[in-house]
Structure 1
């Protein structure tokens, strides 16, 4: 972690500095690690309402008369079924069914907004652009938008103060915060409600100030990552990549099996109707004093069965908590896997659990 640089490169950097932010590099992406003690911020997310700038997600728009029909041919969710203001999680897949990115696609007034992991928007614009022939479609990165995330048991109450109608799952609602227009969108719950407020870059700091006035407290990426891992939600680039199929990620609501054809659909459908996958997302728990490193190979009966993805420590028990996509021969709950290179009898194995077991055990 590092201190904020003297010259602010982003509209909210000054706001973060005033709140005492420390920074980290996450694969080339500059993020706020936290504002003090990550454990305290994680505890805050369990009892009230945390506020963060969501830089790890970026967006692009798909506009034009053919936007719905066009995009529906490249994602696993049913874009054609989206009513105005509705959204859906999905995956972009390649011709072999491998995951190019996970996404949330929302039907906005001007077109379709596609939210994807940071660093993927331009690659996906280029990917989709290769298929634009006679389609009346335009693709454009939304670098003018900033995202403020509110999460925790108090997030719903805060949003109720701002929006005349609370957003349903993945849906978008227009609102005004401190006189500035925003769009509020419900996200995937992490043991408690999570919302994102989309605002212009020029308005983001004013909106953030108003949210803190209304009781939200700044939290960093580290605390939110711990919450995500405890909740058992996989992350692109850490827990899965283009070598994985959608059904292996645990994000079951991101695939429609009734929508019809899209790039990679034949492979994804074949896996589904076969009735099982060869690999599945699992939680892991370990009693070791040292957290095993993300990316470490995992072994069962002397064979590699997967790699450790996200990893954190449970604030309730002190145990290591991780996520991994494991081969089915090691995916049964209660199975014990070893970190490759560990010493049997000296380093505790990792026990396979359901994703989200740690949050469920803590009453989240």
Structure 2
């Protein structure tokens, strides 16, 4: 079921609606239907250790009601996807990107050994997933009388009812640590969606969500998360445990840190105009190629443009670059994290 989306006729009407949703997400409150994302339920006595061994987060230190971001990587630390995980009483729920749900489920099945007490279930069709985004998300939670989650650590989640419908709500909105996420059944989704709209949340469609993703700087599979770039270059340090034991990709990540193997960095790029992803990024002064543009979006306001792109680590914040005839400036974006040791 897809509940999101305001039916509008012309492109101009859609643009106004999209701008309103972006403004709400950045200064008010918006709600997005992420039911198209994948949801994977991992059960069994060995589930925490299993995911601890398969992803970058430290699952063995998490307990029921907590959550985190974690990254699926290849043995050579190339990025597959970011997953948002909730530790529940009898399971761990993973939210993954729309394009990776099936492949990650299959990959996890492949790594279950005979003696492992682990089961992997794709629950995407049995559930829906909404997110509240924006600084006024807390006001919606207060109106729902669910304000006990406000101020709790990222990933904290609890079971509630909204308009009499059961729903699990967690801290964080996938794109940022603020906001809230709602896991619920298809049968209750329409009623809960209506409640959120009645409390002032502005609906955000898939195209506008993609625009917000670029503005926030969250890497996406097939764009920033590919076999061409490793998890540290992708700016996902906050989702990588550097002190846990062996896991897939761990040896490569350790070598990257020890021997300075992080050669490039994902940046936001403030642009003077529209630019095509896949285009080369060059230095203004000498025309030398230093990277590649991976995503592009119009900005928050009319006339603003923003991209994401990988750039050699010698090129730093505020550097002037070109993407074809378009000028750009490297800027920080909220989602990405980098330790001081790899910041130019």
**TM-score band, normalised by the shorter chain?**
0.7 to 0.9
Asked if 1:355 is matched to 2:337, the reply is no
Separation of aligned partners in 2, 1:117 and 1:153: 24
Give the alignment partner of residue 41 of structure 2, picking from 40, 48, 61.
Answer: 61
Asked if residue 40 in structure 1 is aligned to residue 15 in structure 2, the reply is no
Task: Provide the C-alpha distance between the structure 1 equivalents of 2:293 and 2:24, rounded to a whole number of angstroms.
Answer: 27
Cα 1:295–1:128 change in 2 (3 A) is: same
Partner of 1:240: 225
* Number of residue pairs matched by the alignment: 327
Matched, 1:136 2:136: no
Mapping for residues 93-172 of structure 1, pairs under 5 Å: 93-133=73-113, 134-143=115-124, 144-162=126-144, 163=146, 165-166=148-149, 167-172=152-157
- Structure 2 Cα separation of the partners of residues 239 and 82 of structure 1: 28
Q: Which of 316, 320, 333 matches 1:332?
A: 316
Is 2:177 the counterpart of 1:195?
A: no
Runs (5+) with no aligned partner, structure 1: 1-9, 23-32, 358-364
- Aligned position for 1:76: 56
Which sections of structure 2, spanning at least 5 residues, go unmatched? 336-344
Task: Report deviation, 1:190.
Answer: 5.6
Which residue of structure 2 aligns with residue 227 of structure 1?
A: 212
RMSD: 2.7
Q: Which has the higher contact order (CA 8 A, sep 6+)?
A: 2
Contact 2:4–2:32, Cα closer than 8 Å, also in 1: no
Query: How much has 1:106 moved relative to structure 2?
Result: 1.5
1:35 deviation in Å? 8.6
Cα distance, 1:21 vs. partner?
A: 6.1
More deviation, 147-156/47-56: 47-56
TM-score (norm 1): 0.82
Q: Distance in 2 between matches of 1:47 and 1:97?
A: 36
- Correspondence for 1:292: 275
CA deviation profile, 1:213-241 (whole Å, cap 9, x unmatched)? 22222122333333332233322322222
Q: Deviations over 1:137-161 (max 9, x none)?
A: 1011012110111111211121233
Query: After TM superposition, where is structure 1 displaced by more than 4 Å over at least 4 residues in a row?
Result: 33-36, 188-192
Q: Displacement of 1:321 after TM fit?
A: 1.2
Specify the alignment match of 1:92 in structure 2.
72
- The question of whether the paired residues in 1 share the 8 Å contact of 2:268 and 2:309 is answered with yes
Question: 2:165 matched to 1:180?
Answer: yes
CA contact (8 A) 1:34 1:223 kept: no
Paired with 1:55 and 1:179, the residues of 2 have a C-alpha distance of 21
